[in-house]
Structure 1
Amino acid sequence: MKPIIGITCAWSEETWGNSSDGEGYYYVGRPYAEAVTKCGGIPMMIPPSYINEDLHEMIDRILSCVNGLIFSGGGDAKRFSPAEFPTLEEQQPRRYYFESELLKEASKRNIPVLGICRGHQMIAEVFGGSISKELIDGHKQNLPGYKPWHEVSIEAKSKMSDITGIHNWRVNSFHRQVVEKVPEGFIASIKADGGTIEAIESIDHTFFIGLQFHPEELMRFDKPSELIIKCLIENAKISR
């Protein structure tokens, strides 16, 4: 039986501001779902739709249905200027609260988790790390996501090294914020030139990894990226 992989969604009201109907829509990039499907899983969209008093019951039900989770990127604060760029929580407060509680409970249950871009930053912050207040230049490419942008180095004897089987890699890049402090219980397993943290992974979990780049887009022409998604799926089968 194929494992079910939950994929978190953004809410358009928090991305672009109020819509004409005052409600907006939940969304996630198509490559996330297609990557899961291609690698042998069943994607399930998980929007930040909840009533506060029922949140933990809802999370319990979600985690009883899924075998693994992808905390997606996207939905960055397009309504804010660089001069007033806010924290992750300020950018998308409803999504932040929902995903932070979902992350903590998934960690307790040792459910396989892959955080991508914003999801990577969420993992870092929720578990005690931090995001730099300074925005980074040169990490937001003007090329399609399936094309790499810069080189990164993978730490030896890390899960990412075991999964990909390589030490140097060219990845894509679509971010302005970066992880500054790695949380306790995690290591920085991939870094770009200049020391920018491009991946973190839990020491104590079987598969609990954050990636600053987008393997779901790279995997179209990049085998290591496909191996990461496949590894998530394989660990989700065991979790099931």
Structure 2
Amino acid sequence: MRANKPIIGITLDSEEPGGYSKFPWYALRENYASAVTAAGGIPMPLPHEVDLVPDLLDLIDGLVVTGGAFDVDPSLFGAEERHDTVVTKDRRTKFEWAMADGALKRDMPVLGICGGQQLLNVILGGSLIQHIPDSVQDCLPHEQPNPRDEAGHDVSVKPDTLLARIVGDVKSLSVNSAHHQAVNKVGPDVIINSVAPDGVIEGIEHPAYRYCLGVQWHPEFHISSGDAKIFDALISEARK
């Protein structure tokens, strides 16, 4: 492993022709990369080439599975119906699944952010709420109306979890919120590490791995001091 500056793979979003280019294009918000850089890592964007997954895993020391304006195909967690709001990006999901599953099999540190957390939960055997307003009574506006670089609500951090050890002696964190889906049932042995005031699961982890962490918010925006610590811990583990 590269002890000084580990290489952190970051999954890209993908878009159809239009806007930036008349041809299909990849996208990555800058602060995903800058958060990795600030924590001491080297960000490496990952194109959706499933056949290259073993080679890409050989090149990186840790993985960030990013979010995006799309959803995990409900069939992947055994749902027989698909909510009208669900939009999928099947090639991206297939690639991210292969990367995350391969990274975990190597016990490589993996951080799932927003939709990345949701996919991580499904990979670990869990399921998702397909549309929060239809499933959670009196829910918070998890697609917050204010800008994403501001807090939308707080989450309570459960003690004796990896997240609690990372963020320090705090009982809650202020977080941003940009999702309409969430973790429903967690997979076997998966631990819930944080919850919103309305009961929506905001973070998961798996103790069988040295760093398998998912958060429903976007810590790359550094809303609280805990957000930077999440990336610091990722880089620390990637150095090992």
TM-score category (smaller protein): 0.7 to 0.9
Aligned to 2:106: 109
2:96 corresponds, among 75, 94, 99, to 99
Q: 1:140 corresponds to which letter in structure 2?
A: E
Q: Deviations over 1:74-132 (max 9, x none)?
A: 2436xxxx97222xxx6110011111111111111000000000100000112210011
Q: Deviations over 1:57-86 (max 9, x none)?
A: x11111111000000012436xxxx97222
2:196 corresponds, among 189, 192, 198, to 192
Partner Cα distance (1:133, 1:76) in 2: 11
What SS does structure 2 have at the residue aligned with 1:123?
A: helix
Aligned to 1:39: 39
The answer to whether 1:66 aligns with 2:83 is: no
What SS does structure 1 have at the residue aligned with 2:63?
A: strand
2:207 corresponds, among 203, 206, 210, to 203
Q: 2:23 corresponds to which letter in structure 1?
A: E
What SS does structure 2 have at the residue aligned with 1:91?
A: coil
Is this contact kept in 1: 2:63–2:108, CA < 8 A? yes
Structure showing the higher helix proportion among its residues: 1
Partner Cα distance (1:22, 1:215) in 2: 32
Aligned to 1:155: 158
Q: 1:28 corresponds to which letter in structure 2?
A: L
What SS does structure 2 have at the residue aligned with 1:174?
A: coil
What SS does structure 2 have at the residue aligned with 1:170?
A: strand
Aligned to 1:236: 238
Partner Cα distance (1:147, 1:185) in 2: 33
Aligned to 2:8: 5
Scaled by the length of structure 1, what TM-score is found? 0.86
Q: 2:84 corresponds to which letter in structure 1?
A: E
What SS does structure 2 have at the residue aligned with 1:147?
A: coil
Is this contact kept in 2: 1:148–1:172, CA < 8 A? yes
Aligned to 1:121: 118
Scaled by the length of structure 2, what TM-score is found? 0.86
Is this contact kept in 1: 2:14–2:26, CA < 8 A? yes
Is this contact kept in 2: 1:11–1:75, CA < 8 A? no
The answer to whether 1:140 aligns with 2:137 is: no
The Cα RMSD (Å) is 1.9
Aligned to 1:178: 182
Is this contact kept in 2: 1:12–1:75, CA < 8 A? no
Segments of structure 1 that go 5 or more residues without pairing to the other structure are none
Q: 1:164 corresponds to which letter in structure 2?
A: V
Q: 1:66 corresponds to which letter in structure 2?
A: I
